Chains A and B, each alone.
Chain A
Amino acid sequence: MRYLPHTDSDVAAMLAVIGVRSLEELFSPIPDDCRLRGPLTLPEPLNEWELEGYFELLSNTTAAAQGFSSFIGAGSYDHFIPESNRQLLSRSEFYTAYTPYQPEISQGTLQAIYEYQTLTARLMQMEVANASLYDGASSLAEALLMSIRITKKPTVAISRSIHPHYRRVAQTYFAPTGYSAIELPHLSDGRTDYSSLQQAGEVAAVVVQSPNFFGVIEDLDSAAEAARAHDALLIVSFTEPLAYGILKPPGKYGADIACGEGQSLGIPQSFGGPGLGIFASKMQYVRNMPGRLVGRAQDVEGRGGYVLTLATREQHIRRQKATSNICTNSSLCALAAAMYMATLGKTGFREMAQLNHDKAEYLKDRLREKGCELPFSGPTFNEFVVRFPNPGDYRRLLERKVLAGLPLDAYYPELKDHHLLCVTETKSRSDLDALAEEVGR
């Protein structure tokens, strides 16, 4: 096996130093009745060529390999990734390192993550961002727990237009705790309705996603007002951070916590993972934050550098009193996101966001002309809900190798026959025309 360097004579020499006769004898501390008798039942080892062939075969069966044109978003977005980013990210000094516990030989990761924290904080207009969590869903769950720690109130009010998977994950985290969530419905424009909060009693946080699951840009002024009126924190979630290239970001509305998914920022979709849990808050809450933080430091000679800091919040120091149990996070994805934000830069990022918006608006117009119904009147970014004029439209498009969005009935039974469509910069006008052409025939 090409990864195992030991020759027979190496093994013999090492066994002699240890003073045992065989590799088998190394395991003598394990009682007999704990030992596996006989070999594991595993397939014959594959060599490099066979492995590549096998996985190529498997990967070739999927929509992505078979040239399907996908208009699905819903928390995972198809964006261009610059080749420079791909190549830089495959520098193995980055990807084969562990968590930067030894700062003197981890300055590359540390500075990169410090830059990530800075750029995400700037994107969200928040005061501080952490070094990342797992994904958008766990970021939301951690934000809810954090708001409960801060306010000592056991209930949160959460918009029903937040990604259904994220709400499901939050439920899982809440299950053993006794904390509860009340759901806020949406209005006819697709935005969250805060009026039911009046009867809700005390809540730790008002939680809303913008753009929300329907692609609709929420009225965050109203969300902030509702939170203030209930002495609750404002938590803004998101699945598409590119939107903040042209939208007013959560911090501008006074969000206490902004949390969501960063996959859009230069990370491949990879069937849903790994993603990037972005997590930012006001500075006053930093000691309540989950996850790692990188901070500036000076070395003994006065040179600037970076270290992991405020570790007293974390599990390896605080044990069961930690702000979270997270240890391994999405560091490499955070690095990818920082690289992507810097590669596009201020103007490029804005133009990319604008392009997403404009292409989605173009398709909206074409679909309206074709008799599609767009149930929500609120403004959208690069996603929107439609109802095709003919029930057979989606299926016919599929036969033409077009995945015309995500059917919504499984998530919102009242939106039977509705689809959530996403348009990113990867779609050309002719792709959009081709989709519209098939609709309503």
Chain B
Amino acid sequence: MADEVKKKVVEPPGPGDAQLWRMGVEDERINWSRRQFFVKLGTASIAVAGLGTVVFAYQFLSPNVLYEPSLVVNAGKPQGYPPDSVTLDVANRIYIVHSTEGFYALDAVCTHLGCVTAWKPEQHIIACPCHGSKFNPDGTKIEGPAPKPLPWKRVWVSDEGNLMVDRGADVAVRQYVRV
């Protein structure tokens, strides 16, 4: 019974088969039985569905609307910050620094593992309470496990004359805002 069934040797299609098929040229190397064709079709369908599931899951798990506080912070009037001062805004996790060159804003979140740092005026440094990283007021690291300096954030003055900080935008260091 089984001996009577002649097995056809199937060779994988080479390059150029698609063009031949479009030209209507019959390629004798593609010689799939009906069963083989449906197995391939089924396997391909499952693969496509699996890929779709992965994309679907990734998109579903990524929220499109976030109910988080705005990344743009109104830091108030520049006159509120005395010269040569470093002010920590704990709620927004930024430092407003009024240096001799002008204003700038630093991210107060430690680049090591995300703790909020603190300004130590007596030592004139920014210190992280979690793992002991220390930074200069310009964000450069003095010591500790932090891999990167504290990034500078974009600062501008709004039409109402308020200092605005975009926590979502890093800028190159030494970009001071003069008021």
A binds B: no
Q: Which residues of B contact A (CB under 8 A)?
A: none
Taking Cβ atoms with an 8 Å cutoff, the residues of A that contact B are: none
